[in-house]
Amino acid sequence: MDPLRIGMLVPSSNTVAEPYTQAMLAGTPHITLHVARFRVTRLDRSDAALAQFTAEPLLAAASLLADAKPHAICLNATSSCYTGLGGDRALVTTLAEATGIPGATAMLGLEALLRRIGARRIGLVTPFLHDVQEATLEVLRGEGWPIVAERHLNDPGNYSFAEWPDERVAELAREVAAEGVDCIAIVSTNLRGGKVAPLLERELGLPVLDTVATALWAAIVAAGGDPRAIRGWGRAFDEGG
């Protein structure tokens, strides 16, 4: 039987998403990862930075990825958290129309998982600049996300996000947990949250959803697979399609 092929669109400066996703898939040889990159070198609210995430470069990368005949194509990036989730919803439709392949995104996967677990008090952890974080809070609260605590690193990124160690990410998560949240979202697929998420879940007794994990969850669901095949990487993969 052919493997389930998962296609990922990954920012060019991202050094976390691909190796972490490969690690998550280590115990599931029937699911394979296939990556195309699009240029991203900065994360701020300037016109030049926002242009990196427009449909044209994403569709160009997706058209190359489609040659590998993946069963789903997922945007493994989180810019819609501050530009608007409507952009991701439109992208999923556009990807399917342009390639004939189901689409998914890290942020829409996170949204779906937060609904499934019934999160009522969300703690948000990101590496973003102050103004990007403010825009993120405005967008996500406008979508109805009950974010009651946040921490961010004020880093211009994107390459530099990966330079923050696991323990610093864990510290931020513990800080928001102390404010009485019932779920933590670690948003940025170039921040090292994927490995600490399951450890924090055991320590804190809370779901900790990292967007590298939510991207893979969403992609497997879109491809018609069962994400529960992934074990040991946290609560995200306890939820079936």
DSSP label at 161?
G
Instruction: Give pLDDT, residue 170.
Output: 98
Q: For residue 1, what pLDDT is reported?
A: 66
Q: Are 224 and 173 in the same domain? A: no
Q: How far out from the chain centre does Cα 47 lie?
A: 23
Domain match, 176 and 219 both: no
Domain CATH for 131: 3.40.50.1860
Structure tokens, 28: 């599931």
Mean pLDDT by 10 residues, the chain (241 residues): 93 98 97 98 93 95 98 98 97 97 98 97 98 98 98 97 98 98 98 98 98 98 97 94 77
CATH number at residue 222: 3.40.50.12500
d(CA 209, CA 231): 14
Q: Cis before residue 158, ω within 30 degrees of 0? A: yes
Q: Are residues 102 and 118 in the same domain?
A: no
The DSSP string of 95-130 is HHHHHSS-EEEHHHHHHHHHHHHT-SSEEEEE---H
Query: The tokens of 170 are what?
Result: 């864990």
Query: Which domain range does residue 78 map to?
Result: 4-108+212-238
- Confidence (pLDDT) at 89: 98
pLDDT the model gives residue 2:
86
**Do 46 and 79 share a domain, yes or no?**
yes
* Pair (137, 191) in one structural domain: yes
Query: Tokens representing 165?
Result: 């160690």
Q: Are residues 201 and 216 in the same domain?
A: no
Is residue 151 located within the same domain as residue 197? yes
Tokens, residue 17: 């998403």
Looking at the fold, whether 126 and 189 belong to one and the same domain comes out as yes
193 and 233 assigned to the same domain: no
Residues 99 and 218 in one domain: yes
> d(Cα 184, Cα 100) in Å, to the nearest integer?
34
Altogether, the residues listed in the chain come to a count of 241
Angle at 192 between CA 186 and CA 198, to 5 degrees: 65
Alpha helices in 7-83 (DSSP H): 17-24, 47-51, 55-65, 80-83
Residue 157 shares a structural domain with residue 229: no
> Are residues 219 and 199 part of one domain?
no
What's the number of domains the chain is made of? Answer: 2
Nearest CA to 20 among 206, 232, 161, 190?
190
